[in-house]
Structure 1
Amino acid sequence: MESIALGTILIPFIGAFIIACSPYRVARLLSVVVSLLASLGTLLLGWGFWHAGQVDQTYTLLSIGDTTIFGFVIDRVSTLICFAVVFLGFLISVYSTAYLTKNNREHPHEGTTRYYAFLMIFIGAMAGLVLSSTILGQLLFFEITGGCSWALIGYYQTKKSQHSALKALLVTHVASLGLYIAAAWLFIQTGTFSLTAIASLPSEAKIIVIGGVLFAAWGKSAQLPLHVWLPDAMEAPTPVSAYLHAASMVKVGVYIFARSILSAGDVPIIIGEVGMIMSVITLVYGFIMYLPQTDMKRLLAYSTITQLSYIFFALSLSIYGVGTSYGKIAFDGGIAYIFNHAFAKSLFFLVAGALSYTCGTRMLPKIKGLLSTLPLLGVGFCVAALAITGVPPFNGFFSKYPIFAAGFALSSGHWLIMVLLVIVIIESIGSFAWFLYWFGKTVPGKPSEEVAQAAPLPIAMKAVLLVLVIMSLCSSVIAALWLN
């Protein structure tokens, strides 16, 4: 499994180099092949883990003396999330080959090898971060994802997109200081960078290390006060928005926070309190901010901020129940949320991209009557909206329900949990109502002029949307079976 994990990480990096040196027509096909091979690597990794009896394994790849520098952790969490980020990278590659053409009505553009090369690097960096068993390895790939996001957000090379790319790079780099502090403090205290060493730290040192990770997580996952980069990052090509800002980059933060909790054993309650309070503040802010949005991508950007807050809430809640069944339910609910939201929100972003491609606009007031003219987009809009707002039988419900169940169970001894949980439930109802409002405005009815004159949608885009619709229904089953 060590070789498979290493291959899964290296294939996209090697592929990126080959793509950068290839003609464009070859490069776009190579990106699909490379990302497919990496996806097969994650499946082999999962198969190996399952065949070995689902026993957690850690491999040291690089060490100096007794100091572990880099290695792999293969467990139920890393294998599940690694599959999601790499497989979605493959779907985005396929989608991009159709989206980045001169037939795109909003952004007629043939694309460049630079786009596909950076996308492959991003896939490799995400696989490396998820599988890393050391905080130093996480830090390395954390910074690589920041560089790739800068290149991809500013891809169109307009003044606004370059400004947005720089903002994303600076904010997430400032956030990375928390990870630098955490790595340094862990090494000073234990003489190693291994994440499992967090468990041996005294309580005060755990607060510094996990607090540093939490600060870094807020930056990558766009939580207050480090949220400002995400809405502006919508200047990127829509497939980039779907990958970086639904499936991968924003999931870096919640993943490293989850990994630190999983490695630490008993986590000081103060981390849970701060994590929950900040997540609920961000949740309310994100909800208020997406209410006035009419640009579909900006609405989805603020919606992503709120959805990530749910994950932070779940992970922070699990700290109160460490060692209990309710703590496990909250933690597994947070991990399932990472997995399920990646597919549902990617679907929503790619529906927005398809509207830009075929109608020339993603402005919601100009879109009406999707179901009669563009039925796949109408169905995709409906499924994505129901999934991210947590309506059964879609995957979002099976992420939210465990969080609420664990929250009510743990609130009996903690009044703060009950207060925050009520706010979260109110936001969930409000979010459902608002997306239902836009569904009624855009999907049924007589087609608007833009929708009536829509161009045909390429087969590659249709295929990716169909896969994501299916995953928005069944990904929760995959997550539940794998995590349990």
Structure 2
Amino acid sequence: MNHIALATMLVPFIGALLIAFLPKRYGPLICTGFAFLATLGMGSLAYLYWAGGKQDVTWVLYQFHQAQLFGFTFDRLSLLIGFAVVSLGLLVSIYSCGYMSPGNREHPQSGDNRYWAFLLVFIGAMAGLTLSSTILGQLLFFEITGGCSWGLIGYYQSEKSLKAALKALLVTHLASLGLYVAAAWLFAQTGTFALAAIAQLDPTSQLVVFGGILFAAWGKSAQLPMHVWLPDAMEAPTPVSAYLHAASMVKVGVYIFARAIFSAAGHVPHIIGVVGVIMAIITLVYGFWMYLPQKDMKRLLAYSTITQLAYIFLALSLSIFGSHMAFNAGVAYIFNHAYAKSLFFLVAGALSYSCGTRSLPKFKGMIRRLPLLGIGFCVAAMAVAGVPPFNGFFSKFPLFAAGFSLSANQLWLLPLLIVALLESVASFGWFLYWLGRTVPGEPSEAIAAASPVPVSMKLVLVVLIVMSLVSSVIAALWLQ
């Protein structure tokens, strides 16, 4: 497993290096091929872990005296989320082969080498971050993902995209200061950077470390007050928005928070849970309020992502009060939402590719002219809203079940959970409103004039539609 993990992390970096030195026409092939190898590696790790009786293993890659600097952890958390972010990297690579082409009516151009190289580096960094057993390793890959996001958000080199890229880099780098503080404090108190050492800290030190990690998580996962970069980041190519801003980069924050809670083995200061719950409720209400007036499909999805990430923070924060169900709900939410929201973004990308616009009022009659996109829109909307039998329901239901169970002893949670429940219902109503306006009926002018969607994009949409139905089953079997 150790050698497979190292190869899984390094293969995308090697592919990116090859792309930098080879002609432009080889970029899509190399990116897709090396993303496939990384996915195969992560899948192999998951299989070996499952076949070995799901025994958690930590491998120290580099150690100086007693201080663990870098290493890998193989457990149900790292391998589930690791497989999601790497496999989605492969799907986005395949999708990009069709999207980044002169036939794109919104952005008619082929992908430059830097697009494919940055995408591969990002896949490698996400593999490294999810498998990392030390906070120093997390910090390294945290910063690499920030650099890649800067390059990919500003890919089109317009004034708006360059400003959005700089904003994302500055805000997420500011957030990383929390991780620097947490790493330094953990090392000062324990003499190691191993995440498992969090359980050895005294309550005051745990408060400092968790406070730093939560601050970093808020910035990376676009939570109040550091949410401002995500809506502007929609200037990126849509496959980038799907991968970075729905499936992987924004999941870095919730993942490092979940990893810290898991590593602390039940020794997390309750004040972190209180702050996490309150900020999650504030953020999800704000996110919902902000996506109501949006007409640009990608900006609506950006604010919806902010809200959905707040639900994950809510679940993880509730787990601090002793609910194993809430923790599993949060982890399953990361996994399920990655596939459902990626589907939503890639449907938006297919619409902009074929129609030349992302404006929701211009779409009508999708199911007649573009049936696959209409079905994808419906499935994604229902999954994100948490409607059974789609995967979002099997994340939200255990979250609320755990929350209301905890409220029997933590009465202050009850009104907050009711607010979250109302937001969930209102969100369903709003997505249903747009579904009714865009999917059925006679095709609008933009839909009627739509150009064909490439096969590679259609294939990815079909896979994501299936995953929006079955990913919850995978998560439930894996986490039990």
TM-score bracket relative to the smaller structure: over 0.9
- Cα deviation for residue 415 of structure 1 reads 1.4
1:348 deviates by 0.2
Residues 383-433 of structure 1 show CA distances to partners (whole Å, capped at 9, x for unaligned) of 000000000000000000000100111100111211110010000000000
- Quote the offset at 1:240 in angstroms: 0.1
* CA distance in structure 1 between the aligned counterparts of 2:21 and 2:238, rounded to whole angstroms: 25
Q: Which segment drifts farther, 46-55 or 471-480?
A: 46-55
TM-score of the pair, normalised by structure 1? 0.99
2:479 alignment partner, one of 472, 475, 483: 483
**Could you tell me how far apart the structure 1 residues matched to 2:140 and 2:458 are?**
36
- Give the letter aligned to residue 134 of structure 1: T
Structure 2 counterpart of 1:16: 16
- Residue 21 of structure 1 and its aligned partner are, at CA, apart by 1.1
- 1:450 equivalent to 2:451? Answer no
Say if 2:72 is the partner of 1:72: yes
Name the amino acid aligned to 2:430: W
CA distance in 1, matches of 2:233, 2:19: 25
Aligned residue type for 2:424: S
Query: Post-superposition shift, 1:151?
Result: 0.1
Secondary structure of the residue aligned to 2:351 is helix
Q: In the TM superposition, what whole-angstrom CA distance separates every residue of 1:305-354 from its partner, at most 9, and x where no partner exists? A: 00000000000000011xxxxx1110000000000000000000000000
Question: What is the alpha-carbon distance in structure 2 between the residues aligned to residue 339 and residue 126 of structure 1?
Answer: 14
Q: Secondary structure at the match of 1:401?
A: helix
Residue 25 of structure 1 deviates from its aligned partner by 1.4
- The CA distance in 1 between the partners of 2:381 and 2:105, in whole Å, is 25
Q: Output the CA distance in 2 between the equivalents of 1:164 and 1:320.
A: 38
- Measure, in 1, the Cα distance between the counterparts of 2:306 and 2:164: 17
**1:420: which partner in 2?**
416
Provide the C-alpha distance between the structure 1 equivalents of 2:86 and 2:50, rounded to a whole number of angstroms. 19
Q: Please state how far the C-alpha of 1:201 moved relative to its aligned partner.
A: 0.3
In structure 2, the partner of 1:186 is 186
Q: Distance in 1 between matches of 2:319 and 2:344?
A: 29
CA distance in 2, matches of 1:138, 1:392: 35
Partner of 1:470: 466
Aligned residue runs from structure 1 range 216-365, under 5 A: 216-265=216-265, 266-321=267-322, 327-365=323-361
Q: What amino acid is aligned across from residue 468 of structure 1 in structure 2?
A: L
Give the whole-Å Cα distance in 2 for the aligned partners of 1:120 and 1:164.
21
Gaps of 5+ in 2: none
The Cα of 1:53 is off from its aligned counterpart by 0.9
Indicate whether 1:398 and 2:399 are aligned: no
What are the residue-to-residue correspondences of 1:46-195 with 2, within 5 Å?
Answer: 46-195=46-195
For residue 51 of structure 1, report the CA deviation from its aligned partner. Answer: 1.4
Tell me how large the CA RMSD over aligned residues is. Answer: 0.5
CA distance in structure 2 between the aligned counterparts of 1:412 and 1:204, rounded to whole angstroms: 28
The separation in 1 between residues aligned to 2:272 and 2:434, in whole angstroms, is: 37
Report deviation, 1:24.
1.4
Indicate whether 1:39 and 2:25 are aligned.
no
- In structure 1, C-alpha distance between the alignment counterparts of 2:263 and 2:46, rounded to whole Å: 20
Which amino acid is the alignment partner of residue 189 of structure 1? Q
Render the CA deviation track for 1:408-462: whole Å, top value 9, x for unaligned.
1110011121111001000000000000000000000010001001101110000
Q: Secondary structure at the match of 2:106?
A: coil
- Counting aligned pairs with the same residue, the percent is 68
Partner SS state of residue 408, structure 2: helix
Once residues 478 and 273 of structure 1 are traced to their aligned partners in structure 2, the CA distance between those partners, rounded to angstroms, is: 31
Moved runs in structure 1, 4+ residues, more than 2 A? none
Structure 1 residue 19: Cα displacement: 1.1
Report the counterpart of residue 435 of structure 1 in structure 2. 431
**What is the CA deviation profile of residues 101-120 of structure 1, one whole-angstrom value per residue up to 9, with x for unaligned ones?**
11000110111011000000
SS for the counterpart of 1:155 is coil
Query: Match of 2:315, as an amino acid?
Result: A
| TM-score where L is the length of structure 2 | 0.99
The one-character-per-residue Cα deviations of 1:16-68 (angstroms, maximum 9, x if unpaired) are 10011111111111111000010000110001101111000000000100000
Distance 2:202 2:260 in 1: 15
Which amino acid is the alignment partner of residue 392 of structure 1? P
Q: Secondary structure at the match of 1:379?
A: helix
How far, CA to CA, are the matches of 1:460 and 1:25 in structure 2?
Answer: 17
Match of residue 377, structure 1, among 373, 378, 386:
373
Q: Please give the alpha-carbon distance, in whole angstroms, between the structure 2 residues aligned to 1:417 and 1:52.
A: 40
Unaligned runs of 5+ in 1: 322-326
SS in structure 1 at match of 2:102: coil
SS in 2 for 1:133: coil
* 1:371 CA displacement: 0.2
